[in-house]
A and B are shown apart, each in its own frame.
Chain A
Amino acid sequence: MSRPTDLVQGTLDLLILRTISLEPKHGWAISKRIQQVSRDTLQVQQGSLYPALHRLEQQAWIKAEWRPTETGRMAKFYSLTEAGGKQLEKELESWTRLSTAINLVIQEA
């Protein structure tokens, strides 16, 4: 496998929160979804994903629940909490501001 593109510091939280904002997902599904949607550009390493999930859970932004998958295996599903929803909005906003700013610099300078 190729080396994953390094994620901009701090964006992993945003990606995770956004990915599970539609429906609860387990860790594997989260990493697959990010990879798929970004057309294989972004690959979240397991070594970053799980610590991040545990940190977010500890912050009470996401909550975990053991549930069966479609194949019947038990997996830990993460979903947004109310506080997590607000956090997502906040991070989205700051990301939009940042990326717009960066784009401006790149195009105009």
Chain B
Amino acid sequence: MRAVDKLRLRLRSLLRRGRVEDELEAELRFHLDQLIDENIASGMTPEEARAAALRTIGGIARFQEECRDMRRVNLIEDLWKDIRHAARVLGRGPSFTIIAVLTLALGIGGTTAIFSVVYGVLLKPLPFSEPERLVGLYHRGPGVNLPVMNQGPATYFIYRDNQRAFEDIGAWDRQEVSITGRGEPEQIQALAVTDGTLPLLRVQPILGRLFSKEDDKRGNPLRVILTYGYWQRKFAAARDIIGEPLQVDGKPATVVGILPASFKFLHTEPALLLPLQPDRAANWVSFGFQVLGRLRPGVTIGDANADVARMIPIVEQVPGFKKLRLEPNIRPLEQDVIGNLGPVLWILFGTVGIVLLIACANVANLFLVRTEGRQQEFAVRAALGASRRRIARELLTESLMLGLAGGVVGLLFARAGIGLLRRLAPATLPRLDEIGIDPVVLLFTLAISLVTGILFGLIPVMRFGTPSAGALKEGGRPASDAPVRQRTRNTLVVAEVAMALVLLVVSGLMIRTFVAMRQVQPGFVSPEQVQTFRIEIPEALIEDGVEMTRAFEQIAQRLRPVPGVVSVGLSSSITMDGEDNTRKTKVVLPIRDYEKLLEDLHDLAVVAERKCEESIPFEDIEKRLKHDGLL
């Protein structure tokens, strides 16, 4: 109660200042009048009485000041005065102010934009509950010289049945499926998961249910779950979609659930979720999907690695696994999103950090020159009684205001930069939709604005904080020739050049890398003349591989006469499109058809020229495949 009263009074003193001042004056005047009346009553003339009263009271102004002090408003008023003073001073030199603010804004804006990327991609936790307990289960395979190997049905079932370190593990894989039977046929991104995957991510459906163990058994009727976006887009958010049939890759499927809009899974953008249905009978070496797990509380990645190492001997009983010499390689799930982007982003962040420092040094230099010109002003004010602290405070207020103004303009720059980044949407940048100016980024901007302000404000404060009597004597002559002052500025210039040099070297190296990458032979020419698109014939429609090839060939045949088409070729994957296609063996071609297609591809110059490699006869390939146990 008392605290509230105190706050109310303090606010009143601050906000209703005029009123409070008037009251103070009236109160003291009343006292004075009473004193005068008393003096008159004791026999003085009114003039004498007034003079005597004023003598007794002394300076009224002093009381007023003391009363104000008691109300504790001076501290805030001083700050306000400093700010207004700084604004006036900065307003008097608009060209300096504009240049300083713009320079800082460029530095702060760049740093903010890159920080928002670093934060959104690297630092922000994954959008799952307790993401620190989520891991990706991978292997190392020294036997085949592979640093990262994923999993297959054999490893998945052995680990799931025997593990002790995890709450549960689940497999996942990206797929592409054709949806038919409802409006236009379309090919969509799908995510195949086992029954444990969604529950361990703590995903809750907004309608229907998730996959059960039964759904995940090979051969059972196909159930699918729709993502929120696809449900909205394709089914107009109809709530009665649960239980409705759908044709997925030509097979009948039933919708059993809808995921919430918040569902995001690593770098995938699925429209549909399918049960992965790994084959429990698979008794051979196969690596085709990813496995993730949720660690039991208190279990570390080291413990989990030990747990997997314990199970590897069981895996090695499956024929073919032994020679891979599998080792566990469990890593935080973030790794699956970020990949090897981390170092690149940190380098970028460091680079804009240096740009910010250069901007800082530039503004510090400008500020220093300006402050030198004001030496006399400071000396006069010191002579009039301004304390060293007060002058330093004013200088710092000025630099902080410049820093904050730079921060505000910088935020605008950063917003534009992030907008541009979104529009360019580089394929290698994951979690793009999580990048933006959120409270954390705002806090970061505020912090660097303040630090920047203090950084370049402190230099002049240290140089000129103690006004010298000499400045008064110099009578307004510019004092910039003094060697000591020159030294500070020289230091700044040296620092600036040094940082610029670092930047130059770094960007030079980056440009070299870029040029080197441009010179990599992609294996094809004039990409602008090549149109690509993806088609898939579901196995449910045509089972026989040869028939399938004929169907594809017929599609190609029909495309050839289309006006403007020079040549048509078919391929299971396209070089350098960044898509990882794990199902390259899906179309089994008779060697004759394959040669025919190869010719077409050659016409398109889509296949890399491999002149220096010797060709391998078909018999040799057959022998090798048999040797590896794959045929």
Check B34 against A28 for contact (C-beta < 8 Å).
Answer: yes
Cα–Cα, bound, A96→B147 (Å) = 85
List chain B residues, Cβ under 8 A from A51.
Answer: 63, 66-67, 69-70
> Which of the candidate stretches A17-25, A72-80, A99-107 sits at the interface with the other chain?
A72-80
Is B585's beta carbon under 8 Å from chain A? no
List chain A residues, Cβ under 8 A from B30.
Answer: 26-28, 73-76
List chain A residues, Cβ under 8 A from B35.
Answer: 28
Is A11's beta carbon under 8 Å from chain B? no
B234 CB, nearest partner CB in chain A, Å? 66
Contact of A58 among B6, B24, B58 (CB under 8 A): B6
Is A91's beta carbon under 8 Å from chain B? no
Is B31's beta carbon under 8 Å from chain A? yes
Contact of A47 among B5, B23, B58 (CB under 8 A): B58
Is B27's beta carbon under 8 Å from chain A? yes
Within 8 A of B (CB), among A29-88: 46-47, 50-52, 54-55, 57-60, 66, 73-76, 81, 83
Contact of B31 among A46, A55, A59 (CB under 8 A): A46
Residue on A nearest B67 in the bound complex, by CB? A54
Is B416's beta carbon under 8 Å from chain A? no
Within 8 A of A (CB), among B5-30: 5-6, 9-10, 13, 23-24, 26-28, 30
B287 CB, nearest partner CB in chain A, Å? 75
Q: How many chain A residues touch B (Cβ–Cβ < 8 Å)?
A: 22
Is B57's beta carbon under 8 Å from chain A? yes
Check B70 against A46 for contact (C-beta < 8 Å).
Answer: no
Cα–Cα, bound, A59→B62 (Å) = 22
Residue on B nearest A56 in the bound complex, by CB? B70
Check A83 against B2 for contact (C-beta < 8 Å).
Answer: yes
Check B27 against A57 for contact (C-beta < 8 Å).
Answer: no
Do A27 and B9 form a contact, CB below 8 Å, given A51-B63, A51-B66? no
Contact of A55 among B5, B56, B62, B70 (CB under 8 A): B70
List chain B residues, Cβ under 8 A from A60.
Answer: 2, 5-6, 9
Within 8 A of A (CB), among B49-106: 56-58, 62-63, 66-67, 69-72
Check B62 against A58 for contact (C-beta < 8 Å).
Answer: no
List chain B residues, Cβ under 8 A from A1.
Answer: 56
A48 CB, nearest partner CB in chain B, Å? 9
B66 CB, nearest partner CB in chain A, Å? 4
Residue on A nearest B8 in the bound complex, by CB? A60
Check A76 against B23 for contact (C-beta < 8 Å).
Answer: yes
Check A58 against B28 for contact (C-beta < 8 Å).
Answer: no
Check A74 against B26 for contact (C-beta < 8 Å).
Answer: yes
Check A47 against B63 for contact (C-beta < 8 Å).
Answer: yes
Check A50 against B63 for contact (C-beta < 8 Å).
Answer: yes
Contact of A54 among B31, B57, B70 (CB under 8 A): B70
Do A58 and B27 form a contact, CB below 8 Å, given A28-B34, A47-B63? no
List chain B residues, Cβ under 8 A from A26.
Answer: 27, 30
List chain A residues, Cβ under 8 A from B13.
Answer: 58
- Name the interface size band of chain B: 20 to 34
Q: Is the interface of B mostly helix, strand, loop or mixed?
A: helix
Cα–Cα, bound, A26→B27 (Å) = 9
Do A59 and B66 form a contact, CB below 8 Å, given A46-B57, A76-B27? no
B38 CB, nearest partner CB in chain A, Å? 9
List chain A residues, Cβ under 8 A from B71.
Answer: 54, 58
Q: Is the interface of A mostly helix, strand, loop or mixed?
A: helix
Residue on B nearest A28 in the bound complex, by CB? B34
Cα–Cα, bound, A98→B524 (Å) = 100
Contact of A46 among B6, B63, B69 (CB under 8 A): B63
Cα–Cα, bound, A54→B27 (Å) = 11
Cα–Cα, bound, A49→B24 (Å) = 13
Cα–Cα, bound, A66→B26 (Å) = 10
Check B2 against A50 for contact (C-beta < 8 Å).
Answer: no
Cα–Cα, bound, A18→B2 (Å) = 20
Check A47 against B31 for contact (C-beta < 8 Å).
Answer: no
A15 CB, nearest partner CB in chain B, Å? 17
Cα–Cα, bound, A60→B28 (Å) = 21
Cα–Cα, bound, A57→B26 (Å) = 17
Cα–Cα, bound, A26→B31 (Å) = 9
Residue on A nearest B6 in the bound complex, by CB? A60
Cα–Cα, bound, A55→B66 (Å) = 10
Of the listed residues A27, A46, A55, A81, the one surrounded by the most CB atoms of chain B closer than 10 A to its CB is A46
A20 CB, nearest partner CB in chain B, Å? 15
List chain B residues, Cβ under 8 A from A83.
Answer: 1-2, 5
Residue on A nearest B28 in the bound complex, by CB? A50
Cα–Cα, bound, A28→B31 (Å) = 6
List chain A residues, Cβ under 8 A from B5.
Answer: 60, 81, 83
A55 CB, nearest partner CB in chain B, Å? 4
Cα–Cα, bound, A28→B23 (Å) = 15
Cα–Cα, bound, A58→B123 (Å) = 47
Cα–Cα, bound, A105→B353 (Å) = 71
List chain A residues, Cβ under 8 A from B26.
Answer: 74, 76
B547 CB, nearest partner CB in chain A, Å? 93
Check B66 against A47 for contact (C-beta < 8 Å).
Answer: yes
Cα–Cα, bound, A47→B61 (Å) = 10
Cα–Cα, bound, A76→B34 (Å) = 13
Cα–Cα, bound, A73→B27 (Å) = 11
Residue on A nearest B56 in the bound complex, by CB? A1
List chain B residues, Cβ under 8 A from A76.
Answer: 23, 26-27, 30
Cα–Cα, bound, A81→B72 (Å) = 21
Cα–Cα, bound, A81→B66 (Å) = 23
Cα–Cα, bound, A2→B28 (Å) = 22
Residue on A nearest B57 in the bound complex, by CB? A46
B75 CB, nearest partner CB in chain A, Å? 13
Cα–Cα, bound, A55→B69 (Å) = 9
List chain A residues, Cβ under 8 A from B28.
Answer: 46, 50
Cα–Cα, bound, A83→B5 (Å) = 11
Cα–Cα, bound, A27→B198 (Å) = 76
Within 8 A of A (CB), among B369-427: none
B230 CB, nearest partner CB in chain A, Å? 63
A99 CB, nearest partner CB in chain B, Å? 27
List chain B residues, Cβ under 8 A from A47.
Answer: 57-58, 62-63, 66
Check A57 against B9 for contact (C-beta < 8 Å).
Answer: yes
Contact of B9 among A50, A52, A58 (CB under 8 A): A58
List chain B residues, Cβ under 8 A from A59.
Answer: 6
**Interchain residue pairs with CB less than 8 A apart (12):** A46-B31, A46-B57, A47-B58, A51-B67, A51-B69, A52-B70, A57-B9, A58-B9, A60-B5, A74-B30, A75-B27, A76-B26
In the complex, the 3 A-B pairs of residues with the closest C-beta atoms, listed nearest first: A60-B5, A55-B70, A54-B70
Extra contacts besides A51-B67, A59-B6 (4): CB < 8 Å:
A26-B27, A58-B71, A60-B6, A83-B5
